[in-house]
Amino acid sequence: MRGGDPDAALYWMAKMIESGEDPRFIARRILICASEDVGNADPRALMIASAAFQAVELVGMPEGRIPLAQAATYVACAPKSNAAYVGIDAAILEVKKGKRRAVPNHLKDATMDKEALGHGKGYMYPHGFPGHWVPQEYMPDPKIFYEPSDEGEEKKIKERLSKWKRKT
């Protein structure tokens, strides 16, 4: 699936099915591939893989092979991006290194004792602004973890993030 060959995906899945592999294992692999290798380039891949997993649970085999095949071929043919996967691993590494950032006061819960603590002060509600975006600090000492690719839907995300950054 990762390499974009739906025929190979079907063949190797058939080999696993015929050798007695648990179809839930196959469904889990399709699910993780949809997120790890396709990601935001085609967010529908994760929904389709998740639906296939659920279908296998509901109908069992041998019919479960059909939604598995549908999901595997969709994932194989989808545009690919691992940017979210790479991004979360980079963020986890940053946390493990001990890089500490304080939550900005305007993002802290403003329900209890907010005046005394300064929580929520200066918060700008993004939906109250044009484009539902507002330039405010969300992370002190900002660092880029998510770098969208030029593939599929992620290209639109990249353009949107670029537009927002130009406004700051």
User: What is the full DSSP assignment across 77-125?
Assistant: HS----HHHHHHHHHHHHHHTT---PPPGGGS--SSSHHHHTTTTT---
Parts of the chain belonging to CATH 1.20.272.10:
6-77
Q: Contact at 8 Å (CB) between 23 and 69? A: no
Residue 34 has pLDDT above 80, yes or no: yes
Condensed to tens digits (0 to 9), the pLDDT of residues 86-95 reads 999 999 999 9
Q: What is the pLDDT of residue 102?
A: 86
CATH topology of domain 83-166: post-AAA+ oligomerization domain-like (1.10.3710)
Condensed to tens digits (0 to 9), the pLDDT of residues 56-79 reads 999 999 999 999 999 999 999 999
Measure the CA–CA gap between 149 and 126, rounded to whole angstroms.
Answer: 25
Buried b (16+ CB within 10 A) or exposed e, 86-96: bbeeeeeeeee
Q: What is the pLDDT of residue 123?
A: 83
What residue has token string 């300064």? 118
Can you tell me the mean pLDDT for 113-135?
79
Q: Contact at 8 Å (CB) between 109 and 119? A: yes
Measure the CA–CA gap between 166 and 14, rounded to whole angstroms.
Answer: 50
Structural class in CATH, domain 6-77: mainly alpha
pLDDT category, 117, cuts 50, 70, 90?
low
Parts of the chain belonging to CATH 1.10.3710.10:
83-166
Measure the CA–CA gap between 14 and 91, rounded to whole angstroms.
Answer: 37
* Summary mean pLDDT of the chain: 93
Q: What is the pLDDT of residue 138?
A: 85
The model carries a pTM of: 0.86
